[in-house]
Every structure is written in C-alpha cells, then in structure tokens.
Amino acid sequence: MLSKNMSAVAVTAVAPILWGTTYITSSALLIADHPLLTATVRALPAGILLLVIGQRLPAGSWWWKSTVLGALNIAGFFAFLFVAADRLPGGVAAVVGGVQPLLVAVLASRLLAETLTRRVVAAGVAGVIGVALIVLRAAGGLDGIGVAAALLGAVSMALGVVLAKAWASEHPPLVVTAWQLVAGGIVLAALTAAFEPLPAQPLTVTNLAGYTYLSLIGTALAYALWFRGIAALPTRVPAFLGLLSPVVALAIGGLVAHETLTLAQAGGVALVFASVATVIGGAVRHGARREPHEPSP
C-alpha cells in the first residue's frame, strides 16, 4: 500500500511539473495578447484526442456532469486565470490562486468526508506564503476585478476537483478527463468567438510548435495524470502537489534568464516543499495504517 500510494503521488506530480512550463511556453512560443484563443487551443484538441483514445461518449447524467466539470475545471478556471494574470501585478494572481489546496481540503471534508486536520490547514497557509515568496514582486495597488477573478478561479477549480472525485468513480479517469476538456473547450471557443478577435498575423512554425506542446503535453497528458491522481488519492494530495508548479516555473526562468535565486525565493521553495511533504506524508501514513481493513482508494 505504501509503495502504491507513493507511486500514485509521483505520477500525479508530473502534472504540475508540466504546468510549470506553461509560462515560458506562452511567452516564448505563442501569439501574445490572445488568452482565450490560447485556452481554447489548449483544451479542445486535447479533449478530442483523449476522447478518441478513450472511445467512450457520456451517457445519462454524465452529459450534464461533464458540462459542469468542464465549466469549473477548464473553462471557468482558465478564463478567470487569464483575467487575473492580465490585471494583477507581480505574481499576485499565483498567490491568490495558492489558496486552492486549502479550499480543496475544506470542501473535501464537507462533501467527501475526508479528514481536515490542523496540520493540513497549517500546510495550506504555509503553501500560500511559500508561493508569495517565490513570485511576488514590488508593485502598486491591487485591482479589485483581478483579485476577484483570481479567487473565483481558485474556487472554480477547487469545487470542480472535489466534484470530479465525488462523481468519477464509475468511469476511467482518462474518459472523464476527455469529457471535461471537450466541454470546457467548447465553452472557451464560444467565449473566444464572442469576446476576442482573431490574430492579425498568421501562425508561424514556432507558434504551431508551442500550441502543439501546450495542448498535447501540457494539457492532454498533464490533465490525464492529474485526474488519475484525484481518483486514486485523497483529494487534498493532488491539490497540494499543484503548488509545485510555480517552483518549476521559477527553476525554468532561472535557467533561461540565468537569474540567481534570492533568499526570499529560496525560503519560499522550502516552504512549498514542506507544505507538500506534510500533506503527502500524512495521507500515505493514513493509507498504510488502514490497509489490513479496507482496500486502496
């Protein structure tokens, strides 16, 4: 049981590691100032690919469940994230979004009867502080709409993650992931058509390579691993693993820009790792203790 849980944790951690490459991919390879188009191209082709692989369409209540999950985990989260990133300075959106693991833990304790301990709450607070130390820069006043969008994005995905855990046990995670990405991608396509003009310049080979990587690797593969982890582990574990994303983005940025890690950033990285390790360790120990009496999730 212990090795099985750790294996599931390791595989799930690949998802936020891949998400940590999103910023450098977007800034270096994609067309600028078209966030909704980027979100659509990221989600819809990935969902169609996984739908072809899974070879299963929704049935019965899963038509509306897929729409709800796609709206929360994909369309709503992406849209709010881009609004927040556009209106907030110096990584503030990432800090506000860092409350998501704590939100997931609280919602899971209410809707899934998962245990919420003081240690998990403390780890959630430490994670937010760690992300703040990693990404925050000196900036002026905060934009109210941007802060609201960042909070709504965190709430949207937190609720979506918990509902995915509650509803998805009857189908393979890959199939449920495909349905969510397609549903969310369709909503994003509609938003793009309504609110965002198409790029004036044609796509370059570099743009195509960036969109292909973001859709196939950063979305199809990452979300398939992510929802597999949600199905196999206590919901709080994948949520806290998501804190690794800004750490990876920091490491990549340092390699590309040859920047030296500041003392504050080093402290932030240490806090994030401590936060994630605390939650993972507690979940793995709990799973190992109950092995003789009940099966692995």
- Render pLDDT for 235-292 as a digit per residue (tens, 0 to 9): 999 999 999 988 888 888 788 767 677 898 899 999 999 999 999 987 666 654 444 4
* Structural contact between residues 29 and 210, judged by C-beta atoms closer than 8 angstroms: yes
Give the least confident one: 61-65, 136-140, 154-158. Answer: 136-140
Write out the two tokens for 166: 């509650």
| pLDDT of amino acid 140 | 54
| Residues 50 and 134 sit within 8 Å (Cβ to Cβ) | no
Of the pLDDT bands very low, low, confident and very high (cuts 50, 70, 90), residue 93 is confident
pLDDT in tens, 37-70: 999 999 999 999 999 999 999 989 999 999 999 9
Of 93, 129, 102, 105, the C-alpha closest to 269 is 129
pLDDT band at 85 (very low <50, low <70, confident <90, very high): confident
| DSSP H or E stretch at residue 253 | helix 244-257
Please provide the DSSP assignment of 200-238 as one string.
SSPPPHHHHHHHHHHHIIIIIIHHHHHHHHHHHS-THHH
Per the model's pLDDT, the better-predicted residue between 210 and 6 turns out to be 210
Q: What does the angle CA 224 – CA 82 – CA 40 come to, to the nearest 5 degrees?
A: 50
**294 vs 63, higher pLDDT:** 63
Residue keyed to tokens 């040859």 = 258
pLDDT of residue 135: 82
In a domain, residue 190? The reply is yes
**Count of the separate structural domains present in the chain:** 1
CA distance 211 to 201: 15
**In this structure, is residue 238 part of a structural domain?**
yes
Q: Is residue 108 part of a domain?
A: yes
Give helix 100-111 / helix 144-167 axis angle, nearest 10°: 40
Residue closest to 34 by CA, chosen among 286, 207, 178: 207
CB 71 within 8 A of CB 163: no
Residue 180 located in a structural domain: yes
The whole-angstrom separation of Cα 124 and Cα 71 is 25
> 71 pLDDT band (50/70/90 cuts)?
very high
Judge whether residue 185 has pLDDT over 80.
Answer: yes
Whether 297 maps to a domain, the answer reads no
Answer whether 56's CB lies under 8 Å from 212's CB. Answer: no
How far is the C-alpha of 121 from the C-alpha of 101, rounded, in Å? 9
Class of residue 28 by CB neighbours under 10 A (exposed 0-12, middle 13-18, buried 19+) = exposed
Whether pLDDT at 191 is above 60: yes
**What is the DSSP code (8-state) at residue 66?**
H
**The token pair that represents 282 in the structure block:** 């507690």
Classify residue 64: in a domain, yes or no: yes
Provide the sign of the torsion angle of the four alpha carbons 99, 102, 106, 111, taken in this order: positive
Is 296 domain-assigned?
A: no
Residue 48: give the domain boundaries: 2-289
In the numeric block, the tokens 């969310």 are attached to 184
Q: How much is the pLDDT for 286?
A: 62
Neighbours of 194 (CB within 10 A): 8
The top-scoring range by mean pLDDT among 72-81, 136-145, 163-172, 252-261 is 72-81
For all residues of the chain together, what is the average pLDDT? 87
- Which tops the pLDDT comparison, 258 or 121? 121
- Which residue is listed with tokens 């743009």? 207
C-alpha span between 63 and 71 (Å, rounded): 12
Is residue 27 very low, low, confident or very high in pLDDT (cuts 50, 70, 90)?
confident
**In the predicted structure, residue 82 carries a pLDDT above the cut 70:** yes
- So what's the pLDDT on residue 258? 74
AA identity, residue 139: A
CB atoms within 10 A of CB 263: 8
Listed residue (187, 94, 83, 101) closest to 143, CA to CA: 83
Answer yes or no: is 294 within a domain.
Answer: no
